[in-house]
Amino acid sequence: MNQAVLPAMLSGLRVLDLTRNLPGPFATRMLADLGATIIKVEPPEGDPARPLGGLFEALNHGKESRRIDFKSAEALGQLREWAKESDVVIDSFRPGVMASLGLDHATLSQGHARLVSVSITGYGQHGPWANKAGHDLNFMALSGVLDQVRAPTGEMALSNVQWGDLAGGSSMACIATLAAVFEAQRSGHGRALDVSMAHGLFAHLVMPRATGPLMKSMLGRWPGAGEDMLNGALPCYNLYTTLDGRTLAVGALEHKFWRSACEVFARPDWADIHWQRGVLPHTPPSDALKSEVAKLVASQPLSVWADRFEPSDCCVTPVLTFAEAKAHPLFAELARQPWMAMT
């Protein structure tokens, strides 16, 4: 008996997408993955990501693309007609641009009370930074996130995952859109939402706000690189270099996982040297254990540790390259939408 094919969860949701580059298109791509109809509106020259074919395809598959001249009054009138047929309008212009085009929420929602308007901005609609230009690196830098992803030795890392664009922008915009649509369906009234990438990133600084004061009480200052709970202070939650210069990710945060990891390491005597057993970070026993684990991990190549830990259930994994991750069974057999399975 064939299983019935269920309709996509957002089937029937119509989104007018005026965004470009990375944050907005990834947000609407996620909505498209969930079944929404996305009408992508581009300027005559096309989205700036088009010359990077692979990037454009990754961000915009499953969308219907249309092009208009945003300097043409007639074209803008056509765009307003498209908005009347849409549930959501998403843009990534600087503050004030949508209003100057006659595409602000107050205008578009006339006679269309359920319309949801979502603007993705760098620093918000108001305040001294509202009209400043910025890219992912700037949002990372100003929010304090970039400082939090330093190596334990203090070097800055220029991430090839654009956390400001994708976490602070795309994901937050997708969540905000779905919440506003849910409300509009119940109340009959939409909203105008502003998603600031810098503020969205700042909201992700959960651990520094929660554990920073504790570490400060131990160190006499705010923790730096490698000194907070989850960025290097704990022996059970750390990165260790292997014999061949690769890296083993030990994420055995809870005592039960650390105990299992110690069995694989063949060091059961380490099991109770753990923060949940009262051995706090930045104490001599904790620091000594970090050195011992590092020495042991450095005695074997990554492949050995990967093989030993693969059958275990203790949150210890090899650090893979992108090419290795693509070939890993966990990802290799998945379809184009790897972030969620629907049944």
Contact 79, 68 (CB under 8 A): yes
Output the furthest CA–CA distance in the chain (Å, rounded): 76
* 61, 37 Cβ separation under 8 angstroms: no
Rg (CA), the chain: 24
First to last CA, the chain: 16
Which residues have a Cβ under 8 Å from the Cβ of 115 and sit 6 or more positions away? 83, 86, 87, 88, 89, 105, 108, 109, 184, 190
- Number of continuous H segments (helices) and E segments (strands) in the chain: 16, 9
Catalytic residue among 33, 47, 91, 165: 165
Q: Is 269 a catalytic residue?
A: no
Which residues contact residue 319 at a Cβ distance below 8 angstroms, ignoring those fewer than 6 apart? 239, 246, 247, 248, 249, 302
φ/ψ of residue 135, rounded to 5: -130, 175
Q: How far apart are CA 279 and CA 270, in angstroms?
A: 11
Catalytic residues: 165
